[in-house]
Chains A and B, each alone.
Chain A
Amino acid sequence: MAAKRKIPVKTRNPDLIRGVGKYSRSKMYHKRGLWAIKAKNGGVFPRHDPQPKAPAAAEKPPKFYPADDVKKPLLNKRKPKPTKLRASITPGTVLILLAGRFMGKRVVFLKQLSSGLLLVTGPFKINGVPLRRVNQSYVIATSTKIDITGVNVDKFDDKYFTKEVLKKNNKGEGQFFEAEKEDKKKLPEDKKEDQKAVDASLIKSIEGVPDLKAYLAARFSLKSGMKPHELVF
């Protein structure tokens, strides 16, 4: 086969209907310029003789033949797509968390991380929810939106939230219990600073809307007579 072009050439013969081209064979011969190629080559279409192949190195017979024919698994070229974000969730939306430690809390959505999880924050001062990742499935999106333009969330990604790997060093039984007590993890100062930086401009825009601060501080719960399938969020 001749060398493949990087961009396939657009056909010079548009279809009138599928299977019927606009131009006849003779017209296409002229359009493609085969007459010009022939003229350049002295009336004959240029012919390239097959190039002599370089001599292949002599292959040694393999040293080892496997006893059974083991089938190779089929090739999988699937690339998982990033989780599709619901249309109702846009940066600045107030979400209701449905599960976990902060169940029922109303939080502000910041952005979707590359793993598909949603980055949310309380803000921490208002309802105690820190910068946190949450799964889209465990969230109700309300139609309340907050202005989020002053917030810079570029530095947060999934790596920021991974747990630190602790080194195991104590082996003596006597020291065992004392060491456990020391092990209580403290939140590093830079994470606290990040939280404050993100929350500063958020809190300003929240205080601009009356009652919004109290709304975010309160938890959501289903009361008597509320039918979730009829509620508008």
Chain B
Amino acid sequence: MPFKRYVEIGRVALVNYGKDYGKLVVIVDVVDQNRALVDAPDMVRGQMNFKRLTLTDITIDIPRVPKKKTLIEAMEKDDVKTKWENSSWGRKLIVQKRRASLNDFDRFKLMLAKIKRAGVVRQELAKLKKENSS
């Protein structure tokens, strides 16, 4: 019931609306009740409404409004990228992106692979059933 992810300086968030949709950004300052100053290595530091952000579990250790260089160093030190890509949320997003970019031929090959896997699973199941019944 209590909140687990807080808005704080250093909180990594995912942008869920707007031009920077899908980017991971770091909250570097709070402007007022609704807005935060937000920064990422590949974007110009700017304000964003909290409604456009979804907080993640990752935080980094930075002073308030750090220079771009300090920010990048802190992100490297805390390994934000690998932490994100190993988290289940991050992995889901990567899989969604991959599925969306599949070619028509890729989708066909995927279908064949699924059928093959299902065939193997069914064979094993049949074997186990046979062992169990005998």
- A contact set with B: CB distance below 8 Å: 94, 96, 106, 142-144, 211-212, 214-215, 218, 220, 230-233
Contacts and interface: CB of A to CB of B under 8 A. Distances in A.
Nearest to A212: B105
A126 to B, nearest CB: 14
B101 interface: yes
B42 interface: no
9 contacts: A94-B105, A142-B105, A144-B105, A211-B108, A211-B112, A218-B108, A230-B100, A232-B100, A232-B102
A230 B112 CA distance: 22
Nearest to B113: A211
Interface of B: 100-105, 108-109, 112
Contacts of B105: 94, 142, 144, 211-212, 215
Contacts of B108: 211, 214-215, 218
B103 A232 contact: yes
- Chain B interface, >50% SS class: helix
B103 A233 contact: yes
Most buried by B among A106, A142, A215, A230: A215
B112 A233 contact: no
B53 to A, nearest CB: 25
A36 B87 CA distance: 89
Contact of B104 (A96, A211, A214, A230): A96
Contact of B103 (A106, A142, A212): A142
Contacts of B103: 142-144, 232-233
A144 B112 contact: no
A143 B106 CA distance: 10
Contacts of A106: 104
Minimum-distance CB pairs A-B, first 8? A144-B105, A142-B104, A215-B108, A233-B104, A211-B109, A143-B103, A232-B101, A215-B105
B112 A220 contact: no
Given A211-B109, A214-B112, A218-B108, 5 more contacts: A144-B103, A212-B105, A214-B108, A230-B100, A232-B101
A94 B104 CA distance: 10
A233 B100 CA distance: 10
A217 to B, nearest CB: 10
A143 B102 CA distance: 10
Contacts of B102: 232
Nearest to B108: A215
Contacts of B100: 230, 232
A144 B109 contact: no
Nearest to A215: B108
Contact of A220 (B101, B104, B109): B104
Contacts of A214: 108, 112
Nearest to B112: A211
A106 B102 CA distance: 17
Nearest to A233: B104
A144 B101 CA distance: 14
A143 to B, nearest CB: 6
A230 B97 CA distance: 12
B109 to A, nearest CB: 5
A157 B103 CA distance: 32
